[in-house]
Amino acid sequence: MEEISLRELIEILIKRKNIIIYITLFAMLASGVVSFFILDPVYEASVLLMASSDNQQVSAPVGNGNVEKMLDNISQYPDMDIETYRQQIKRPGVMNKTIEDLNLQDEYTIETLADKIILETSKDTKLITIKMKSKDPEEAANIVNKVGENFISVATSKEKERITKTSEYVKSQLQIERDKYDEYLLEQKKILSEPRGAAEVELELEAKLEQITSFKTQLNELEVKKKSLEEAISMLSTIGSTNTTRVKANSTNSSNDNETSSYLNSMNIVSGDSGKLLKVELAEVEGMANSIRDKVKEMQTNIEELQIELQEKGYKESIVNQKVDIAKQTYEAFVKKYEELRVTESSKIGEASITIISKAHPSSRPIGPRKALNVAISLVLGGMIGVFLAFFIEYWETSEKEKFKNAVLDE
């Protein structure tokens, strides 16, 4: 394989310099003519939108109840991030409304207009830029401004439509909850109007408990008194036995005088009478104690019955009261949410969530064509093409000479 030195390459370029220069000049001239005289200037217009996440919910949660959480969920504003907004801007509804508002039916379709719209988002910001390039700067500005306005309008309309549907549902459910509340109130009133309600039974039970406590106190006092009487009777019986023994001893002993015997006999008579009285009193105490025990036993039975009755009536009333409380809380939650939705329905949720912070204005400075850049590119491309042709022509002529030389040598 024949090697080519750098000197030979440079000699070829010098030899064919006219071709390189002419082609380069032609490319530059053609690029200049096209850029300066043929291509129309292109203008760019942009509108800046800012999305806000402060209105992601129609209302802040007001409680921890399941009903309130459910109502908050159905009235919650969709979670819209920057990318979601960006995808929504080019949807057919926005493009079609823009075409109709600006009477662009002859110039654009929904697809072609969407292709002309350029969307840009800035990292770590809530900003969306809507851009468009056009030969008419006023048209570009009008279109991007209208796209931004229509996007906000469509977003607001869709959100109001959703809020209206939610409001209608809450309103219909509101009457149902009101009917339930009235039904439970009537049931509660009926139970409370029944004779011997839970409160009455509870008062009767308290009275019975106080009474049985009093009886038990009396019974304890009678037991103490009974014990005292039994001890007194036992003591008198002991004294009587002692005196009788001493009287017998005096009767056998002649040395004892008659006065002592008479005294002891008198004491025995007194002790016997006292013992009889104490025994009578003891019998009365035992009778009273037995009577109180019977009353306590009977009262305990009554108390048990009252406790069962109180438990049944209390449970029944508590169930109804619980139904009334839940129905009331549910009804009040629906009333509150309906009022919130009614206010929200008249507000501008969509406009509050995304706003135009900078409108587009017709530009007087075109962004294209970039004439100097085009000429510079043509200079490079023309030079490259010229060099390629120079080497190609040199190769072609050299190969022809070699072929002719070889043919002569062969002859």
Number of domains in the chain: 2
The pLDDT value given to residue 60:
41
**Same-domain status, 309 and 393:** no
Is residue 169 included in any domain, yes or no? no
Per-residue pLDDT tens listing for the chain (411 residues) = 456 678 888 888 888 899 999 999 999 998 888 878 887 889 999 999 988 754 444 444 444 456 667 776 665 655 667 888 888 899 999 999 999 999 999 999 999 999 999 999 888 888 999 999 999 999 999 999 999 999 988 888 887 887 888 888 888 888 898 999 999 899 888 887 877 788 888 888 899 899 989 988 998 998 888 888 888 777 767 765 555 555 455 555 544 445 555 544 555 455 556 767 877 888 888 888 898 888 889 889 998 988 888 888 888 888 989 989 998 988 888 888 888 877 776 665 555 578 899 999 998 888 878 778 888 999 999 999 999 998 888 888 888 777 766 666 665
Is residue 136 included in any domain, yes or no? no
Residue with tokens 């409160």: 199
**Same-domain status, 275 and 386:** no
Rounded distance, CA 262 to CA 247, Å?
A: 9
Q: Own/partner pairs for 368-374, CB < 8 Å, 24+ apart?
A: 368/39, 368/41, 368/42, 368/133, 369/35, 369/39, 369/41, 369/42, 370/35, 371/32, 371/35, 371/36, 374/31, 374/32, 374/34, 374/35
Is residue 277 included in any domain, yes or no? yes
Is residue 67 included in any domain, yes or no? no
Is residue 77 included in any domain, yes or no? no
b (16+ CB within 10 A) / e for 314-327? eeebeebeebbeeb
**Same-domain status, 295 and 383:** no
Cα dist from 303 to 194, 206, 208, 214, whole Å = 21, 9, 7, 14
Is residue 258 included in any domain, yes or no? yes
What is the residue range of 210's domain?
196-323
**Same-domain status, 298 and 383:** no
Query: Which residues are registered as beta bridge partners of 51?
Result: 354
**Same-domain status, 379 and 265:** no
**Same-domain status, 201 and 318:** yes
The pLDDT value given to residue 55:
46
Rounded distance, CA 232 to CA 330, Å?
A: 75
For the entire predicted model, the pTM comes to: 0.53
**Same-domain status, 201 and 319:** yes
Residue type, 373: L
Is residue 382 included in any domain, yes or no? yes
Is residue 280 included in any domain, yes or no? yes
**Same-domain status, 200 and 312:** yes
Rounded distance, CA 284 to CA 225, Å?
A: 11
Q: Quick check: helix, strand or coil at residue 358? A: strand
